Chains A and B, each alone.
Chain A
Amino acid sequence: MARKTRVLAASGVALALGLTTAACGGGSDSDNKGSTSNGKSEFGAAITNVVNPSTTKGGTLNLWSSQDADSWDPARGYYAFVWNLNRLYTRKLVDYAAAPGQAGLKLQPDLAEAEPTISADKLTYTFKLRSGLKWDDGAPITSKDVKYGIERVWATDVISGGPYYLPNVLDQGQNYKGPYKDTAPDKLGLKTVTTPDDSTIVFKLAKPYSDFMYLLAMPGSGPVPQKRDTGAQYGSKPAASGPYMFSEIQPGKAAKWVRNPNWDPASDPIRKALPDAINLTITTNADDLDNRLLSGTADLDVGQTGVQAAARTKLLTDPTLKANADAPNTGFLRFADMTPVAPMDNADCRKAVIYAADPTAIQTARGGEFAGGDIGTSILPPNIAGSDANYDPYNRKQGKAQVDKAKEALAACGKPNGFDVTIAARNNRAAEVKTAEALQASLKVVGINAKIDQYDGATDSAIGGSPEIVKKRGYGIIITGWGADYPTGAGYMQPLADSRFITKNGNFNRSEIKDPAIDKLFDDAAAETDPAKAATIYTEINKKIMEGAYVLPFVVDKALNYRNPRLTNAYVHESFGMLDFQALGVSDGK
């Protein structure tokens, strides 16, 4: 990691996903000049429409990455690109539609033959599975497999690393320990989920929860055949319900997929399955990867976190190359939490920091317009329903630090000559350290003396994520980044702003926002089934957070990615903020 900087840039996902992941993204944001014409390739074209539409089958898709998957076990992977790749071999009851733009955020039945029937009280969800679904070994995919797969999420001592939403909703006091410690003979002891027959599965909620379906769309909610479950080792040979199955997994080196003979196209409305084979090569050399992309020997960097500085220069200066590149939003917001550590407990002091921070310096430190992203103005990124691109309460878009405003704020908080504060940044995230440096420099101008403390990023959840440690170490400002696990205002903001989400460990509400009004708004949203109405509530929450000056938004994260011209059906999928891998094909059939 001499290549620290590059491993970072390269394995950006890793960082990006350090906290949480599966960026929502892209979005038809104004400043990308994606054409709406005939699918011809232009800069940013894939963000808004399908580039080189085609149904030609055959050929081998050569995917590359400078970062290995965190795990191929659907319940343990947490990187955005791994969730995206899961679509190749893991089907769920419902999954995101295969389409560019907002359409991609719609969930549609996958294993389920139709939308679930939801009881009047919105507490019971009943799914019927399609008929004739088969595993790669020919065994039928049953509702029990789905339930078993979901149960595995509880077994955190074995299945660690994955998202942990379902238990919050479905455990309901049962205190279930997961299938491995399950006393029931069939290991299906989770009470809130029942399987009356092999093609039916029923979920019982304790209270209405409008986002529930999104939780079922996560890879961890996919089916797992109990007899093939090898627990902690499952990631080295996961069963395949999708069109492709693993033919080889070499940790840190490669993964190969071939067609799953038992997958029936007729049963799958989402997946195209064009290539005959898909190879993922993991390299340690990000520059090498870029060169291969530009020279056409590699098809795509599945990391999708942007090319290295060298390639960036080539891309942006060569029109023909640029025509095959996109810079979509990754769905991440880069920002700083301001904690209740004095003087950050004072709103005016926080405002002072926001005004003093130099938006451009920070944007450049993060890589500029394309590699860094647009200057952030609020906590809610543009792609999430309810956000407003023009909402800029602290007038950051103009790009200059506002020293006078900052001085006023300082006076208001009773520290006209500034104060001392500690900025915390994860030591394994070069960009965050650079951000911290830039912030430190601009705070100095108004007399705020910041000192940077780099802490072990690998134990983030126990340091930045532990209010106690934060207080003990006196972190007033914590540099972080955030992308939603599912694309709704709640999915994005609740962990950040709901006082009930503050935990002793792995906390993400690091500003420790304790505002009953905000908490209530979240409850209202959860009960609200009409997305449009919910959106207005999220707009409200966003305003409240920004007015409280709890966070300092840096940039709306972007990544400059290149795609091989031979790729067909290339489009950015909103829910991942990167190309939809399952849709890709190769034009030359090689």
Chain B
Amino acid sequence: MLAYLIRRLINAVITLLVVTAVTFGIFFAIPKAIGSDPALLYIGKQSDPAAIAGISAKMGFDDPIVVQYGKFLKGIVAGRDYANGPDVTHCPAPCLGYSFATDQEVTPLLLEDLPVTLSLALGAAVLWVILGVATGVLSALRRGTFVDRAAMTTALAGVSLPIYFTGLLASAIFVYWLEWLPQGNYVPFTENPGEWFTSLILPWITLAFLFAATYARLTRANMLETLGEDYVRTARAKGLRERTVIGKHALRSGLTPLVTVFGLDLGALLGGAVLTESVFNLRGLGYQALTAIRQSDLPIILGVTLIAAFFIVFANLVVDLVYGWIDPRVRLA
């Protein structure tokens, strides 16, 4: 088990390194290649050559890309120092540099947006798991009945709906026409749990609906497969109550494959639910990233991409471990 764990850890680290390298390369190399100097992005409107030179020197844009990457990595592990004029500011590890647009330290900036994304992702996750799994199990047990058909049709519709459409539609209906919900504007949980809830309910539902659909389909398929398994028949042959047969023997193995999917989905979401956040104006990581991309604010783009990748890799890791925990065959193999 330990060896297994260590192997996965090493993999994770390597993946992260590659992600940083690729991302860094793309965002700092391509712009240069197509003739737009990062220094210009940094300096923005007014751009007198002297200033550009100054910036390039200060930010080290003149160094070869590898050197820059090195410094960047160093910043993440050890932090780095920036000349800010009168004195030197130390950017503590994990340092992702300073935003071109606002000169804010990137790390705290992103950490500020994290709660939004977290609230959105986790809240939605709870919803969609309950909704999706319940539906899936139900239609698996009622296979071929009307319930099953109805559920699966809805699910198919669900996976076919673009969130940036359902999102708009939802707010058009519930916010503007029925006025059941307030205009979306994120309120921190710490500030006012009630408003936090109302501010997120619509995004949650929209996002959850999409995923629930997928999960319902998945769960159904898995359950049908499991119900056909010999050990389920054995369970019945033992005289166990149907409740126990389904609830303990069938579900346990029927839902295991979902763990993988769930882990990855959640991981991906934690990196910023780009579409949902932008449709609902939630100032989370995804929203931040989009803004940054518009302003070519490289450090932020890079930062978000990194965090996103981190979550995905991390999720992968967790999934592997959970899997090992659930399935002795994996653990003891």
Contact = CB atoms under 8 A, between A and B. Distances in A.
A461 B45 contact: yes
Interface in B269-316: 275, 278-279, 281-283, 287, 290-291, 293-297
Given A284-B287, A458-B41, A232 B84 contact: yes
A1 B51 contact: no
B36 A462 contact: yes
Nearest to B49: A505
Interface residues of A, number: 57
Contact of A1 (B35, B44, B52, B294): B294
Contacts of B40: 459, 461-462, 505
Interface in A272-321: 283-285, 287-288, 291-292, 310
B36 A463 contact: yes
Interface string B60-100: 00000000000000000000001111110100000000100
A17 B58 CA distance: 26
B35 A288 contact: no
Given A288-B185, A505-B48, 10 more contacts: A4-B294, A160-B51, A229-B86, A230-B84, A231-B84, A285-B184, A310-B176, A428-B295, A461-B47, A504-B49
B108 to A, nearest CB: 9
Contact of B84 (A2, A158, A459, A506): A158
B154 interface: no
Contact of B47 (A291, A428, A465): A465
Contact of A506 (B41, B47, B58, B184): B47
A459 B54 contact: no
Interface in A463-480: 463, 465, 469
Contact of A459 (B41, B89, B98, B176): B41
Contacts of B104: 251
A18 B295 CA distance: 11
A144 B16 CA distance: 51
A78 B45 contact: yes
Contacts of B54: 156-157
A162 B51 CA distance: 12
Contacts of B101: 70
Contacts of B281: 3, 283-285, 288
A20 interface: yes
A157 B86 contact: no
B317 to A, nearest CB: 31
A258 to B, nearest CB: 21
A71 B103 contact: yes
Contacts, number: 154
Interface of A: 1-4, 7, 17-20, 68, 70-71, 78, 155-164, 179-180, 229-233, 235, 251-253, 283-285, 287-288, 291-292, 310, 428, 456-463, 465, 469, 503-506
A469 B101 CA distance: 24
Given A461-B47, A462-B36, A462-B37, A232 B294 contact: no
B221 interface: no
Contacts of A180: 85-86
B164 A459 contact: no
16 contacts: A70-B102, A78-B45, A156-B43, A156-B50, A157-B54, A161-B46, A180-B85, A229-B85, A232-B82, A232-B103, A252-B283, A284-B186, A459-B31, A461-B44, A463-B36, A505-B47
A157 B47 contact: no
Contacts of B42: 160
Contacts of B283: 252, 284
A-B residue pairs, 4 tightest by C-beta: A231-B85, A157-B54, A156-B51, A2-B278
Contacts of A457: 294
Nearest to B171: A287
A66 to B, nearest CB: 9
A1 B278 contact: yes
Contacts of A158: 58, 83-85
B157 interface: no
A156 B52 CA distance: 8
A255 B50 CA distance: 33
A155 B282 CA distance: 36
Contacts of A462: 35-37, 40, 47
A65 to B, nearest CB: 13
B151 to A, nearest CB: 31
